[in-house]
Every structure is written in C-alpha cells, then in structure tokens.
Copies of this chain bind each other. A is one copy, B any other.
C-alpha cells in the first residue's frame, strides 16, 4: 500500500543528524580559514564524531553489530550529513554501504568472524573497494558488446595456499583511511575483460600493500590536473603482496562486484550526498534572499529571484523523490516483480537526475549572492564546485544516460 510516511526512527535520525550538521559541522566546514586554501584536509575529529553517532555502521545488520538501516534511512541520514560537509558524508556513506555489502552479503562466516568486531568497535575503521565494474563507463560502448581492453587490474598468482598480488589501482575512494580493502584482481591468466576477476580482502597492514599519497588539490605534470572528487582518495600499490586464499571473497574468477549491481547501493548513497550539497546551497540562498535588500525590498520579493528559488525548490523536491524511490527499490525487489515499480535502473536515474539537479541548484543559489558567489571565503563557490563534481562524474554524465537508454531498449550486453 503506497505510503510516504517516515517511521519515528527515521524522523528522529533526520533530526539528530540535521542538528549535528547545523551545529557542529557547518561552522567548521564553511569557516573562511578552511574555505580559502586549495587543500581541504578531512576534518578527522568531525568524522570520528559522526562515526560515534553510528553512521559508519548504519547499514550493517543488527546481528553484526550495526544499526541495520535500510537504504532509504541511509539516504535520509547522508543527505543531512552532507548539508554539513560533503567529504565526511562521502567517506561515511562509502564505508556504510561497503560495510553492508562486505560483511552481510559477501563474506563467509569465517571471514566475518575475523573482521567484523574490529570494524564495529573502531570509530576510525573505514572500508575501501579497489576495482572496476562492467557498469563503469558502459555507456561509451552503447549498444555494442563490452570493450575489454579497458579493464586493467592487478594480477594474482597462486603460491601454495596464498595468492601473490602485484599491480596498482588508481584513485581508490577511502584508501587514505581504510583499514580493510576489497581489491579486485585478475586470477585467470590470459582472461580478458570482466571475466577471470576475483576479489580479495586485504587488511591495510598487509605486507606489500602500500597506500600512496592522498590525492591533492593539484597533480599531474605541471599540476595539469585538479582534484575532482568528494571524500578522500589515493592510489594503492601492491608489490608481491601475499594474501591467504582464505581472504578470497566469493569464488575465484567470479568477482562479485564485476557486474556492478552490488554497487547500486553506493550510487544511491552518493545521490543522497549530492542532495545534501544542493540543499545547503539552496538554504543559504533562501536565507540571504530574505535578508539582502536591493531595489527597495528583500531580493526574495523580486520575481527574478523568486523564480530561481522556485526552480531550486522544484529540482530538489523531484530529486529527493527519485533518490528515495531508488533507495526503497533496492530493498524491495519484489515491488518490481509485482509491477509496482518498473524495471528501469532506478539507481542510475537517481544518480544522473540528482547530479544534474544539484549542479543547477548550486549555480542558481550562487547567482542570488552576486559577487559574493565567487569569493573563496564564502561557501557558495564551494557548493558550486561540489555540484560540478557531482555532475561530471562518469556515472552521472552523458554516458550514464546511455545506460538508461539501453535498459529501455532491453539491450543485453555480452560481457567482455
């Protein structure tokens, strides 16, 4: 029965996080001293505080020691957190989503027994997935079979009961903080594309695993590249990294992440994070428009500003509906079976639609601020930048739309 009522627990979590974001995070996050420099190190004290509120283990099952929150609740929480600070929301969202996937879905009982207690107990314990999926950039192979040359991952060779891994993975989200990595490697010698991939659990302190420098504001030759992600990320390097066969996640040569479905949870979480940024910029604009006087009235009372505010309102409302729907759908596959929901890839639609909407909202919000919208001591320019990053990610841009079109056409790609 269709019902948009939130549970008292959901409302309470929303209140708690909204309060935390407004009171504790925001002042630090948008302090001019933090806004002006290019580098914005993760505010680790706030990250730990947020972890103490249970966000890190939010989605982990209650049995395993988490809060067992469903995807919708997770989205509600992450949106609030992101109104306070986007990197913290991204880091926690990544760990929370991976926590559920790794511990509750993929690990064997034995593996879980080895790692879950430390994960639950340690507020600074984060998770990272280092790998690629068939979904990543699939739009570029629109209506063609998968193109396999792009899939380069570390290789693993069997050595007794161990595997020895060599290779490098660029730009692994959460890597600078993660204590446990799920690393995709090629075990099948001579295999290509997404076939012959396996995933290993590798604790950070494993010999041969090196987390490289955190990605900085500028990089590349002559600083020709600019940091372009939320959260925190670094490359990892594996040099003769020996991992016991017991750390293999699932079956050899059948990487559970390969088809990308397990990461739908993460797409939706990131969509919720984007909503938080959009809302932060929108709320700033509404407040300012009701205070700033020009033309003999508060600027809110001018039709031109009113139109911008209304456009923001509409875009955020529509995006949130879509994100929540996609989140709920992930937990309720039966709703597709009974035809309450369509078979469209709702998580992709949510990610694309919210990214575009939030991008536009941050720009409209900045316009309300005039020159102050580009000053580095003001938060608007950062919200705008955050919005650009959401909108120009591989999984939220034109190629992602093509994945939607393929689904409409019922196209099935032969895996490479």
Chain A interface residues toward B at CB < 8 A: 1-7, 10-11, 72, 142-143, 286, 289-290, 297, 300-301, 303, 305-307, 309-311, 313-314, 317-319, 321-322, 324-325, 328-329, 332, 335, 338-342, 344, 346, 349, 352-353, 398, 401-402, 404-406, 408-409
Contact = CB atoms under 8 A, between A and B. Distances in A.
Contact of A349 (B10, B317, B328, B341): B317
A301 B398 contact: no
Contact of A404 (B7, B305, B313, B338): B313
A405 B309 contact: yes
A287 B340 CA distance: 23
B340 A286 contact: no
Contacts of A286: 408-409
A338 to B, nearest CB: 7
Q: How many copies of the chain does the oligomer comprise? A: 2
Contacts of A305: 405
B325 A405 contact: no
B306 A402 contact: yes
B353 A306 contact: no
A197 B243 CA distance: 82
Contacts of A317: 322, 342, 344, 346, 349, 353
Nearest to A144: B301
B2 A310 contact: no
Contacts of A7: 1-2
B401 A318 contact: no
Contacts of A2: 3-7, 10, 72, 324, 328
A12 to B, nearest CB: 11
B405 A339 contact: no
| Most chain B C-beta atoms within 10 Å of own C-beta, residue among A7, A286, A317, A402 | A317
A345 B401 CA distance: 30
A368 to B, nearest CB: 12
A174 to B, nearest CB: 29
Contacts of A289: 409
B3 A314 contact: no
Contacts of A301: 142-143, 409
Contacts of A346: 317
B328 A143 contact: no
B142 A313 contact: no
27 contacts: A1-B3, A2-B3, A2-B72, A2-B324, A4-B332, A4-B335, A4-B341, A5-B332, A6-B339, A6-B340, A11-B338, A142-B306, A300-B409, A306-B402, A306-B405, A307-B402, A310-B401, A310-B402, A313-B344, A314-B349, A314-B352, A317-B342, A317-B346, A317-B349, A317-B353, A318-B318, A318-B319
Contacts of A408: 286, 309-310, 313
Nearest to A356: B314
A303 B404 contact: no
Nearest to A339: B11
A3 B327 CA distance: 11
Given A317-B344, A318-B322, A405 B4 contact: no
A398 B314 CA distance: 13
Contact of A325 (B1, B142, B321, B409): B321
